[in-house]
Amino acid sequence: MTPRRALAQSGTLVLRSCAQTPLRAVAVAVAVCALTVSSTPASAQRLVLAANADAASGLEGGTYLRGTGIRRARTTLRLGLDGSVDESPENAIAAALLVELEPHAALGAEVRVVRALFTNLSVEAGGIAYLAPQTLLGATAGFTYRVPLRANLWLTIGPSINGYFLGSDLPAGTVLWQALVRGGLRVRF
């Protein structure tokens, strides 16, 4: 027997059993309609967005600094957006545009996962990349402390550590690290 014929016969059997007991078919249809109508609608999750702008600087070092050790890190401006769901505001995903202001201009981006440890303290980790004029790829981690200024406005401050291990801006076999302090503002929409 072919699968199509078996399916046709099983459909016929179901129709015959419903036809033999029409009261059962009506009861099932009424039950399905009652459950559909009487169920409460699920509340939709709402996306909560926040924008931030901060500046960062600190110390940097790496295996390429033979003999010089540690020097002042590049000053960076970070403009970002993070989003969370109103049912789970302690978990967020953030993305930011990075602009190195000095000693030379560069453009990059980062994506982070943010987890609130307490009301005003969060930990974050993710990937970071500079794309122009040369490339640097790495990882970032840090903490952010938020000082409330208004209902939806915070002053932010915190340390972060960046490690770069790939890119055209690094000589082969070298690693660059940065220990930074960030400060800025955060606004929730």
Same domain, 168 and 107: yes
Domains in the chain, number: 2
Residue-level pLDDT at 21: 65
Residue-level pLDDT at 34: 61
Which residues of the chain fall short of a pLDDT of 50? 7, 12-15, 18-19
Residue-level pLDDT at 36: 61
Residue-level pLDDT at 13: 47
The whole domain housing 25 covers: 3-38
CATH value at residue 131: 2.40.160.20
Same domain, 31 and 121: no
Same domain, 101 and 61: yes
E strands within the chain? Answer: 47-62, 71-72, 75-85, 88-102, 106-116, 121-132, 136-150, 153-166, 176-188
Q: Round to whole Å and give the CA distance between 5 and 14.
A: 14
Instruction: Indicate the pTM of the whole model.
Output: 0.73
Same domain, 62 and 32: no
Residue-level pLDDT at 41: 56
